[in-house]
Amino acid sequence: MRPQPTIPLEKDCLIEAPQWERIKDLQVLIERAINQAHAYCEQQEGIDILPGSEVSLVFSKDDEVRSLNASHRGKDKATNVLSFPIDEEADPLGPLLGDIVFAFETVEREAKDMDLAFSHHLTHLCIHGFLHLLGYDHIECDEAEKMEAVEIAILAFLGIENPYAGSDPIAMPD
């Protein structure tokens, strides 16, 4: 049985790019991914989130995410997902956790290149972005290993295979 969060988490979704409207059951996918990540982190990782807390999910496109990536991270390229935590050091976290922004074209291309179902790749990226809001990172190898292990465990509860199978955790500049 999948764990459920003890308190609900509001998800505020904004679709900025019309391509996202083609995705069947986008809202259901988001709810499942974020709820499972929330429950796992609450129950297995001991992370407390204030009741009534909210996460914002923005479904955008490559050129918008490229602009955000350039202005906030100094990287002039699109990326699949960006997270903007409000305060990942707070204890407990909330009431506003932060924003997660997705780039449609990059997500779609990566899913195709990795031979993954779009819904599985997007679920993984929802979890990945949410974990960043909670303070997880992958700059150092030990951080990358921890974050990947948590992602894999959450995905397993959702019946999604390990997207890192056959690869070693790689520290990535944030």
User: Given this model, what pLDDT does residue 165 score?
Assistant: 85
Cα angle 7, 85, 158; round to 5: 50
pLDDT at residue 171 is higher than 50:
no
For residue range 128-147, list pLDDT tens digits in order: 999 999 999 998 889 999 99
Beta strands in the chain (DSSP E): 10-15, 54-60, 81-85, 96-103
**How is the chain split into domains, by residue range?**
10-157
Residue 139, SS3 per DSSP: coil
For residue range 95-131, list pLDDT tens digits in order: 999 999 999 999 999 999 999 999 999 999 999 999 9
Dist. CA 71–CA 52, nearest whole Å? 31
CATH of domain 10-157: 3.40.390.30
Task: Kindly report the pTM of this predicted structure.
Answer: 0.91
User: Given this model, what pLDDT does residue 167 score?
Assistant: 66
User: Given this model, what pLDDT does residue 173 score?
Assistant: 47
Here the tokens at position 21 are 């409207």
User: Given this model, what pLDDT does residue 68 score?
Assistant: 96
For residue range 56-110, list pLDDT tens digits in order: 999 999 999 999 999 999 999 999 999 999 987 777 888 999 999 999 999 999 9
